Structure 1
Amino acid sequence: MDDGPPRGHREGNAHNEASGTVSGSVVQARVVHGDINLIDRGTSRVIPSQLPAHPSAFVGRDEELKWLDEHMTARPDAVTIAAVSGAAGIGKTALALSWAHLAQHRFPDGQLYVDLRGFGSQEPMTCSQALYSFLTSLGVAPEAVPTGLDAKAGLYRSLLHERRLLVVLDNARDTEHVRPLLPGSSSCVALVTSRNRLDSLGAREGAHSLSLGLLNRADAVALLERRAGRERVAEEPENAIVLVGRCARLPLALSIAAARVANRPGARLAELVEELEDENGRLDALDLGDTDLDLRAVFSWSYRAMPSADQTAFRLLGLFVGPDIGDLAAASLFGVSLPECRRRLGRLAAAHLVEERVPHRFRMHDLLRMYAAELADADDHASRTAAVSRMLDHYLHSSWTAERCLYAYRDSVDLPPPAPGVVVATAATYQEALGWFTVEHAVLLAAVGQARAQGFRRHAWLLPWSLVTYFERRGHWQDEIRVLIAALSSAAEHNDQQAQSRTLRYLGRGLTLVGDHQEAEEHYSRALHISESLGDVDHQARTHRGMSMLYQSTRRYEEALTHGEVATKQFRQAGNKNGEARALHTLARCQAELGRYEDALEHSSEAIRLFRQLSFPDPQGEASAVDSYAFALHRLGRHQEAITHYEHALVLWRQLGNRFYEAGTLTRLGGAHRSAGDAVCTEQVWMLALEIYEQLNHPDAELVRAALTAW
């Protein structure tokens, strides 16, 4: 059925005013035996010039313009098509029109443009309506336009034959919305924009695809300057940067913010920055009262076009506050299988409601996330709580699985099974576990904060507790302390004595590593008091060993020795062979510092033997024991033997990725080389240690720097 002319077209007018200059008569068409024949009643062609005005505030996009230049050159063998896709408000139309104006000279036979209204407050324009508009713009009399879609398309392609003409199909809903509008002549070029990724247009028509991202910060500031005035921005450069961030570098949001600034000559950027600080009201602040400039409305056009299941997935993604989310975590959040989750995320990504920044990891810019969170607020509380709980279960059980790969002898806790629908990441090796933690680092910090803020008590202390081995070995001590403080608050609020004791002990360890020895001692003392009241011998032994390491750091070696001896005895009492081996090498280090070198060799040697007899390897413990053994050898003057053992410890540290302990061994290895009279190796090794300490921002960098200066 024919859709007729687009609304607003004046029938009977042979010259569409938007079509440009006409010289000569119009073209008529008639249908003979089903074929379209053209009757050219003049020698001149209509040259349409339908491009809307060049976007006045367009800035940046240099790489994208270059890409279009390279890919939008007419080919002799096929129609050249480029499809620009991107999220709502990202600037697709502005890019397309900017390039079209710059390249206008390439198309002497004209430029056709149509807004297909695939996403917006109006009904989408049909292909038949668009073709009617194109045909009349090309000089076909309205009464001569064929009635059927195929007939219109055939006439359209005939008129474009061998013409060098640009066709801009803006705001398409999907591939079928543009396919009948594509030229048939290889001399023509088509540029399509859509919120949806038009993959099938590439597969069937060979279209080149460009996915448009957010503006970089410099271009975002330039857009703000162009819209609000360079002087206004120059007066408050820091606030301009913050404003750009709060607008998510989204061109539409920046344009709205700039309009608000421009319309209030006496206002400062700082006022708008403060107004946009509250995430709950940010979308309200970026609403000018015009449907096309209301972010909620603009976002909703994409959201409402999605199937119901995908709408639900989009809303649920708004419940998580992390920077991005992996597909396993998303499957847990949605409560669906992994294949189904990937299908939903794939459709959301194709609609640019999420971005797949790397394979199987997805994110939204802040304004879209806020919109999703607002929509989720309308869902019932129980379903929202269950979804967040499943997601936190994913992170908790996945981190515990990875934690056991890093250190199989962590003291155990009662971990409830994951809820139905939770998908757990299963790291199988040390390197896989380390890689998982590295990828999820920022997300895990956000998950801890969310668990604490939203009252998920079990996750709020167990999740931080499962991260300490990774944080310690990679030198992320401030992150370790921050999440453990949150865990301690949660445990204290619920009077969980065991949770408090264990968290205090790990806080003591983290504070020792950053050099806050007094507070570390207070936390260890509290942990020891609670574990004694609970009769937990194993935890008492772990705490005594931690206190021994603390006192070594402050050169209180007699106290360190006492705690090391108690730890060794209690680990033996508890039957913990791994703990006993760790206590023995700690004890050996104290003895070496006190000049009891033979005792140190004996205890560190015994520790190495125990580590190598364990059911599961503990390379961290073994490396420490080998280092302690080398330290005693060095003090005994057996420098070459010490160097050999230090180098073996280094191999283990590097396999573990434990840079802090690697730096410590390098420092001591440099001392052994110095004692052996090897100046070159001494300097090389100490320079490596200094580099690591500086990267970790650790105070021991000054000690190594001083040693190098003195050397």
Structure 2
Amino acid sequence: MLIAQSIPGSGELIVPVERNSTNEMGGSVTGAIVQSGTVHGGVHITTPIPAPEIPHQLPPAPAFFTGRDDESAEVDVAASDVAGRPALVVISGPGGVGKSALALRWLHMNAERFPDGQLYADLGAFGAGVPVSPSHVLPRFLRAMGVHVDDIPVDLADQSALFRSVTSNKRVAVLADDAESVAQVRPLLPAAGGVVVVTSRWRLAGLALDGARLILVDALDVDAGVDLLSHALGHDRVAGEPDQARDVVTMCAGLPLALRLVAARMATKPRWPLARVVDSLSDERRRLSVLAVAGELPVGTSFDLSYRELTPAAARLYRLLGLYPGTEFGVGLAGATADVSEEEAEQLLDELLDASLLIDRGPDTYRFHDLLRLHAARHADNQDSADEREHAVHRMVLWHLDHAIAADLVVMPLRQRWGPRSEVIRQRPPAFTNPRDALDWLDRHHIGILAVLRAAVGRFDDEAWQLCQALWSLYHNRRPPLADWVATHEPGLESARRAGDRIAEARMHVQLGYGHLTVEAFDVAAEHFTAALHLGRSVRHRDTEATALEHLGLAAKGAGRLDQALDHFTAALAITDELGHTRVTVLLLRRLGETLCDAGLVAEAVAPLRRAEELAAGLGDRVLRARVSLSLAIAHTRSGRASDAVTALEEVVDTFHSTGADHYRAEALEALADAHLGIDDPVGARRHLETALVLYDRSPGPRSAKVRERLEVLGRGPGASAPAPPDVTSK
């Protein structure tokens, strides 16, 4: 007789046959028991291996989560089933922006989609130790999926192949957190039917070959940031100081890590108001130091981990761009800042993007997260000499100045300019193919130009006022609000004074005065023009004197002092005739003709306007010629020749549209409306006034109000807003 007993934990037991056995059993017995007569050979007993538990390795979901609806929806789309391979999602962004929180939140919310398990690996790209090799991760994954330790191969490729075999016909989720490289992630991809979510400060572009979908995570908006603070500190505490809460979010630049650190500080000080945190964060130089809590990774240290991985050239560009006073920049400015070619700058920007130390906002448009900008500037202060930092800022100023002058020269090629840089740029090939493109460039870069101009005052004064001068074509054609004129020209005026250049100072007065003309502040404008006149006469600069007189005439004309306006225009015309400045002569003849028209002397107005038309024809300036044609057409309408005016004005409108001179186009449309009224066509007049109103409303002012009043007279409802007619963009 044979008694055989299985041993717990063993799958198979071989018991030899013993002769003369007795059928006896004593003590306690566990496992399988076989009772038999004579047994020939051996007995093989196999016990079933218990099914492995389904792994649920994910860390807990974040306690507070807000403001990621769009990103979560992107993960939903990216994680949909993909035939023949696992869905692969790469969530990338700067340190502390909430990449892991987004991944964990989504995976926990969608756990039922992956019933065969959720696997987790911290790959440690920016942890305290060295990054984790996939050869250390895969054995843990395989054991979790039920593979016996003795059956796990040593070779990485074999481990990866076995993992794919084990996960075939299964739906598993894998979170590869804080990845450093594609090589870390690729062996961890399961068979089809699952999802791999990767978080990384790097964009891991190589995973695109495996079908990865990249999702970029940016800072929280203000409302979401306030919501995060409310969850952490309590609704009542945050609701009691709503403005201060929004200030805290803004100063933390919406970075979840920074907000959590603030909340951690405040949680232990329940009697502290949020206003105290605002005060401590107000000093940009100390802000990163304030955003630290004992036992937690400070914001600055988190950024340092990414910074240390950069090549020396990329690290230098990162530091110097931190000195840029504007917000967005492109390859050209980056190259100028670091004094490298645009090709090299683009490669370095790609490295910064891949490290999530920059944000790309579109083609050739980059910007810093606000706290990263402070981090970069702090490293520049610590690592770059004062001379190197100053040279970098000077190169930024020169880049903006040269491009602004290049655009200004294309829009107004014949305009007289003061300062040496214009002549340097004039010798180069045109940077823009047409005036509209040049104006659009100035419009897009206006905020950056303003920031650089302010930074240049007191440091690079000669460049500052020349930069302001180069904005003339943009302001003259697009007519921004008066606040923009003041914001740029007051610093320009200060720099001209600091530079001791009276002619430059006079030009700043003229341009600033013209800004006040656009809002019909005629007396303020006249003060600036009078100051320019005195400056021009003090250095006996006849061009400046003529320009000041011309603009004094415009102020007088706007105020209804037509006789005074005629005197100023006539005096200025005498100077320009003497100097032989044809373009300015054309402008003054047009001003003279318009003033005579306003005075009811239409017949007398035709002669100076005809002379202006003849002179303009030989200059090749389409906009200048169209402006003269506009004045002549107005004279025709007032003299009873409205049908002739309609034909001429339609051509004028087309010219202004094609050159991007939107304000002049609006003026021409007003004149065209008058001409249509002159031929008894109120419907046509209304149509042109509606279009003019759309253009004026891009920078609302007195002209908008007057056109709106005219439309009401023509039958529109009081206060109605004119819809954009089709020809605003398509004509």
Query: Do Structure 1 and Structure 2 share a fold, with TM-score over 0.5?
Result: yes
Matched, 1:464 2:471: no
Superposition map of 1:624-643 within 5 A: 624-643=627-646
SS in 1 for 2:557: helix
Shift, 1:508, TM fit: 1.8
Task: Give the structure 2 partner of residue 4 of structure 1.
Answer: none
Superposition map of 1:77-92 within 5 A: 77-92=84-99
Matched, 1:334 2:341: no
Conserved? CA contact 1:398–1:424, under 8 Å: no
Relative to structure 2, which stretch is displaced further, 432-441 or 120-129?
Answer: 120-129
Conserved? CA contact 2:90–2:200, under 8 Å: yes
Shift, 1:702, TM fit: 3.2
Superposition map of 1:259-408 within 5 A: 259-292=264-297, 294-378=298-382, 379-408=384-413
Conserved? CA contact 2:91–2:99, under 8 Å: yes
Conserved? CA contact 1:666–1:685, under 8 Å: yes
CA deviation profile, 1:262-287 (whole Å, cap 9, x unmatched)? 33322333332333222222212222
Task: Give the structure 2 partner of residue 698 of structure 1.
Answer: 701
Q: Hey, what's the Cα distance between the residues in 2 that align with 1:148 and 1:345? A: 37
Q: Hey, what's the Cα distance between the residues in 2 that align with 1:303 and 1:462? A: 37
How many correspondences in the alignment?
Answer: 669
Q: Sort the Cα spacing of 1:26 and 1:101 in 2 relative to 1 into closer, same or farther, 3 A.
A: farther
Relative to structure 2, which stretch is displaced further, 593-602 or 112-121?
Answer: 593-602
Q: Hey, what's the Cα distance between the residues in 2 that align with 1:83 and 1:67? A: 11
> Larger Rg: 1 or 2?
2
SS in 2 for 1:172: coil
Matched, 1:474 2:478: yes
Relative to structure 2, which stretch is displaced further, 471-480 or 642-651?
Answer: 642-651
SS in 2 for 1:595: coil
Q: Hey, what's the Cα distance between the residues in 2 that align with 1:210 and 1:257? A: 27
Task: Give the structure 2 partner of residue 241 of structure 1.
Answer: 246
Q: Sort the Cα spacing of 1:703 and 1:202 in 2 relative to 1 into closer, same or farther, 3 A.
A: closer
Normalised by the length of structure 2, the TM-score is 0.86
Shift, 1:139, TM fit: 4.5
Task: Give the structure 1 partner of residue 515 of structure 2.
Answer: 510
Aligned match of 2:680 in 661, 677, 681? 677
SS in 1 for 2:254: coil
Task: Give the structure 1 partner of residue 32 of structure 2.
Answer: none
Q: Sort the Cα spacing of 1:27 and 1:45 in 2 relative to 1 into closer, same or farther, 3 A.
A: farther
Conserved? CA contact 1:171–1:193, under 8 Å: yes
Normalised by the length of structure 1, the TM-score is 0.89
Letter in 1 for 2:76: D
Q: Hey, what's the Cα distance between the residues in 2 that align with 1:589 and 1:76? A: 73
Conserved? CA contact 2:325–2:451, under 8 Å: yes
Letter in 1 for 2:436: Q
CA deviation profile, 1:23-56 (whole Å, cap 9, x unmatched)? x96999xxxxxxxxxx997141242111101111
Q: Sort the Cα spacing of 1:399 and 1:27 in 2 relative to 1 into closer, same or farther, 3 A.
A: farther
Q: Hey, what's the Cα distance between the residues in 2 that align with 1:67 and 1:524? A: 57
Shift, 1:693, TM fit: 3.4
Q: Sort the Cα spacing of 1:79 and 1:703 in 2 relative to 1 into closer, same or farther, 3 A.
A: closer
SS in 2 for 1:96: helix
Letter in 2 for 1:450: A
Task: Give the structure 2 partner of residue 7 of structure 1.
Answer: none
CA deviation profile, 1:497-533 (whole Å, cap 9, x unmatched)? 1211211121221221122222211111111112122
Shift, 1:466, TM fit: 0.7
Q: Sort the Cα spacing of 1:638 and 1:412 in 2 relative to 1 into closer, same or farther, 3 A.
A: same
SS in 2 for 1:82: strand
Conserved? CA contact 1:224–1:258, under 8 Å: yes
Task: Give the structure 2 partner of residue 42 of structure 1.
Answer: 49
Conserved? CA contact 2:549–2:569, under 8 Å: yes
Letter in 2 for 1:539: T
Q: Hey, what's the Cα distance between the residues in 2 that align with 1:671 and 1:80? A: 64
Q: Sort the Cα spacing of 1:233 and 1:57 in 2 relative to 1 into closer, same or farther, 3 A.
A: same
Task: Give the structure 1 partner of residue 498 of structure 2.
Answer: 493
Letter in 2 for 1:683: R
Conserved? CA contact 1:571–1:577, under 8 Å: yes
Relative to structure 2, which stretch is displaced further, 231-240 or 149-158?
Answer: 149-158
CA RMSD, Structure 1 to Structure 2 (Å): 2.6
Task: Give the structure 2 partner of residue 60 of structure 1.
Answer: 67
Q: Sort the Cα spacing of 1:327 and 1:554 in 2 relative to 1 into closer, same or farther, 3 A.
A: same
Shift, 1:239, TM fit: 2.9
Conserved? CA contact 2:329–2:366, under 8 Å: yes
Matched, 1:168 2:172: no
Shift, 1:541, TM fit: 1.7
Conserved? CA contact 2:590–2:628, under 8 Å: yes
SS in 2 for 1:178: helix
Relative to structure 2, which stretch is displaced further, 592-601 or 301-310?
Answer: 592-601
Matched, 1:134 2:137: no
Letter in 1 for 2:656: W
Relative to structure 2, which stretch is displaced further, 683-692 or 508-517?
Answer: 683-692
Q: Hey, what's the Cα distance between the residues in 2 that align with 1:255 and 1:27? A: 52
5+ unaligned residues in a row in structure 2: which ranges?
Answer: 1-7, 13-45, 715-731
Conserved? CA contact 1:328–1:424, under 8 Å: no
5+ unaligned residues in a row in structure 1: which ranges?
Answer: 1-23, 29-38
Task: Give the structure 1 partner of residue 201 of structure 2.
Answer: 195
SS in 1 for 2:445: helix
Letter in 2 for 1:605: R
Conserved? CA contact 2:435–2:660, under 8 Å: no
